[in-house]
Every structure is written in C-alpha cells, then in structure tokens.
C-alpha cells in the first residue's frame, strides 16, 4: 500500500515529536519543554518542516564535509536542525549546541528504529 505525501509527513512529524520527547527524557534539564506535551508536538512539527525544507539545502552545501568525515558530519547537521528549532520555538529550551547534537543523534536513532519497524517488505 502506497502512502501519500501527507501521511508520510504525518509519520515524520510523529517520529520527530517522539524523538524530541525521548531526547528530553534522556538529556533532562538540558533539553527542557516544561513537561507540556503540546510543546513537544509543536516542536516536532517545526522539526519536521525544517528537515523537509532546510536540511536538504544544508546537506548539499555541506557535501564535502560529509564525504570527508564519511557521513559523521550528518550528526552535526542534525544537531543544527534541532538547535534551529529551539531558536524558532523558544518554548523548547536547548541549553547548548552540544545538547542539540546529542538530541539530534537520539532523534536519528528513533527515526531509524521507527522506519525499520514501519518499512514495507
């Protein structure tokens, strides 16, 4: 069964929100959402939009660094996307850029796990 673009975006939104929630639970006060699930949902929406629009441009511009680091620079790019969400949506408070990189890594792991579970065979 083929998923439409709207359902794929809804899944991406859910995964981003879930990843942010898990990252906030692991990172504690360094990634704070004031224990309001609505903040995580809105931040997940913003992260999904940022990943759909801004991330591809950043990846293309960073291609030499990505190739030179054998793909590890993608962790920094994911962290930058999370940090950008914290800047665009101040209710999601991110202490440092290092925290954003850790959160981006956790969100990437959650995305990988959910994608493998939902992948059609």
Percentage, residues of the chain above pLDDT 70: 97
Number of folded domains in the chain? 1
Q: Is residue 120 part of a domain?
A: no
Percentage, residues of the chain above pLDDT 90: 66
Q: Is residue 121 part of a domain?
A: no
Q: Is residue 26 part of a domain?
A: yes
Q: Which pLDDT score, from 0 to 100, does residue 118 have? A: 77
Q: Is residue 118 part of a domain?
A: no
Q: Is residue 17 part of a domain?
A: yes
Q: In terms of residue numbers, what domain contains 26? A: 5-113
**Ranges under pLDDT 70 in the chain:** 1-2, 120-121
In 3D, which of 98, 36, 60, 93 has the Cα closest to residue 106?
98
CA 6 to chain centre: 18
Q: Is residue 76 part of a domain?
A: yes
State the pTM of this model: 0.89
């Amino acid at each position: 069964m083929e998923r439409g673009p709207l359902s794929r975006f809804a899944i991406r939104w859910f995964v981003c929100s879930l990843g942010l929630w898990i990252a906030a639970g692991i990172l504690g006060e360094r990634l704070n959402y004031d224990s309001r699930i609505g903040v995580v949902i809105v931040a997940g929406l913003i992260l999904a939009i940022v990943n759909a629009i801004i991330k591809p441009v950043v990846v293309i511009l960073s291609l030499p660094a990505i190739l030179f680091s054998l793909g590890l620079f993608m962790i920094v790019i994911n962290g930058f996307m999370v940090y950008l969400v914290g800047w665009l949506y101040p209710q999601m408070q991110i202490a440092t850029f290092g925290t954003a990189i850790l959160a981006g890594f956790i969100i990437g792991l959650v995305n990988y796990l959910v994608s493998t579970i939902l992948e059609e065979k």
